Structure 1
Amino acid sequence: MDLHTVTEVVSPATPGQWRPGDAWLGGGTALFGEPRPEINRLLDLTAAGWPPLTFRDDHVEVAATCTIAELAEGLAAYPLVGQCCHAFLASFKIWNVATVGGNLCAALPAGPMISLSVALDGTCVLVGPDAVERLVPAAAFVTGVGTTVLRDGEFLRAIRLPLATLTARTAYRRGSLFRHGRSAALVIGRIDPGGGVSLTVTASTERPHVTQNLDELRDWVDDVHGSPAWRRHLTRLYAAQIIAELSETA
């Protein structure tokens, strides 16, 4: 979709250039997906030249501009990464344009990069207009449908995924009304160091949840992709399957 109110694209862009009416541009697959009359200038992050993946001693830093294709190839050794990438059900053209950061910032319930980042106990690195970094747990980054903790002028710089969780035993379940439909429920289980199972619930709820008690969840999504009652049933079914699977392997 054309954003007909945009009159300028700044590339490359830096934090101090932000002003009201601006939007940070990554892959653009979400940004150009619907009308945004409040935007009149785009600040291009893809031209910053950030390496897609940076391996540290205790974590992997995934640049916000890392494409889905780059993530799937660079972290192919970790099964959960591939499973979440394939949850897009998108063509190779989308994989080569859509970015990890863009998927998080769109804050859609069915965002699989949100599922991955939260399930692996990731940390989001945010940068404000003053170039000061702020660290936020991935589980707290998305606050609702289309809303995040980003402040005016802030952008998502990277997501840090701990090696300890990347290498942990996980189980994955995803359901949709249609074979190639949007995720209606996506549940990921992970064996914690203490031997317990943590459950990450996304797609069926308005924001991600890490919980061991599904009864406490109240924000079930209600849209054309599934009713709240059905999503709740599917989530509980998947959670039971995951706990049984991980308990057998523990």
Structure 2
Amino acid sequence: MDLTTISEVIRRPSSRPGAEWREGDAWLAGGTWLFSVEQPGLRRLIDLTGLRWDPLVPSDTGLEIGATCTIRDLHALTPPDHWIAGGLFAKSCEAFLSSFKVWNAATVGGNICMSLPAGPMITLTVALEARYELWATDGSVRTVDALDFVTGDHRNILAPGEILRRVHIPASALTKRTAHRRFTLTHLGRSTVFLIGTQTPGTSDLLLTVTAGTTRPVRIAFETMPDARSLGESIDALPDGVWFADPNGTPDHRHHLTRHFAEEIRRELMAGGPV
């Protein structure tokens, strides 16, 4: 879609582009959402791809994902063998309601900052206990838990002009066993619920991440594996207002599916099933 209100595009922003921000600006990365709907309040685009941030930087401390890393690049990542949670990268990329053409442009940071309930990069990074590095317009930097970033449907903690610079997934999360469940109304449809459970090797703990069915990500932690009743009660105890409603499912439907799939995840991790 043509954005008819745009009068300027900054193709080569400074290495710390926050100081250039003014009202009516938008950060441009993949642009797959930005160019899909009218943007009457925008006057200028600042193209972050010109900064050429490293897309993926693996190290002994974990994985750093640049905000402008494309979904294609993340899907193509071959994680080290000891990152047994690495299979979640491809699974989460494949949860996008999009074509391979969109994968070539859409970015990890863009999906996170859109902050939609079904954003699979949110699911992935919350489940793997990531932290986000945010740059403010005054040059300051803050780091936040991925769980705390999204606050509701299409809402997050970013201040005006603040930008997501990078995502860091710790090595401790990448070495966990995992189980996941996702439900859609159609084969290639938007997620109605998307759950990921992780377990530390050599322990019986459980970290359950619930997304898509809720307006914001929910993380439920157990030091030891709960029984079915305790797990169900922890899901029932979530606030009524957290359950999402749209054409893909009612809050009651999503609550029911979350309970059902959480129990499947519990049993799979207890049985030592596929990671």
Compute the TM-score of the two structures, normalised by the length of structure 1.
0.96
C-alpha contact 2:130 2:145 (8 A) present in aligned 1: yes
Single out whichever of 168-177 and 50-59 deviates more from structure 2: 50-59
Letter of the aligned partner of 2:199 in structure 1? I
2:9 aligned partner: 9
What is the aligned counterpart of 1:58 among 45, 56, 61? Answer: 61
What is the aligned counterpart of 1:244 among 247, 257, 267? Answer: 267
Letter of the aligned partner of 2:237 in structure 1? E
Distance 2:119 2:168 in 1: 17
Single out whichever of 101-110 and 32-41 deviates more from structure 2: 32-41
**1:34 CA displacement:** 2.1
Letter of the aligned partner of 1:45 in structure 2? L
Unaligned runs of 5+ in 2: 81-85, 222-233
Is 1:198 paired with 2:207? Answer: yes
Is 1:69 paired with 2:53? Answer: no
- 1:166-181 mapped onto 2 (5 Å cutoff): 166-181=174-189
What is the aligned counterpart of 1:99 among 107, 128, 142? Answer: 107
1:95-119 CA distance string (max 9 Å, x none): 1110000000000100000000000
Letter of the aligned partner of 2:212 in structure 1? A
Do the aligned partners of residues 202 and 130 (structure 1) sit closer, same or farther apart at CA in structure 2, a change above 3 Å counting? Answer: same
**1:76 CA displacement:** 4.8
Q: Secondary structure at the match of 1:205?
A: coil
1:123-146 CA distance string (max 9 Å, x none): 001001122211011011111111
Distance 1:75 1:102 in 2: 22
2:139 aligned partner: 131
User: Whose Rg is larger?
Assistant: 2
Distance 1:40 1:205 in 2: 33
1:170-211 CA distance string (max 9 Å, x none): 001000111111100000000036531111000000000001
Distance 1:208 1:192 in 2: 21
1:120 aligned partner: 128
C-alpha contact 2:175 2:200 (8 A) present in aligned 1: no
C-alpha contact 1:75 1:81 (8 A) present in aligned 2: no
1:143 aligned partner: 151
C-alpha contact 1:30 1:103 (8 A) present in aligned 2: no
Letter of the aligned partner of 2:153 in structure 1? V
Distance 1:75 1:126 in 2: 27
Letter of the aligned partner of 1:114 in structure 2? I
Is 1:215 paired with 2:236? Answer: yes
2:44 aligned partner: 41
C-alpha contact 1:67 1:96 (8 A) present in aligned 2: yes
C-alpha contact 1:76 1:82 (8 A) present in aligned 2: no
Is 1:32 paired with 2:40? Answer: no
Letter of the aligned partner of 1:155 in structure 2? I
CA RMSD of aligned residues (A): 1.4
Distance 1:115 1:132 in 2: 27
Compute the TM-score of the two structures, normalised by the length of structure 2.
0.87
Letter of the aligned partner of 1:223 in structure 2? D
Distance 2:235 2:129 in 1: 19
Unaligned runs of 5+ in 1: none
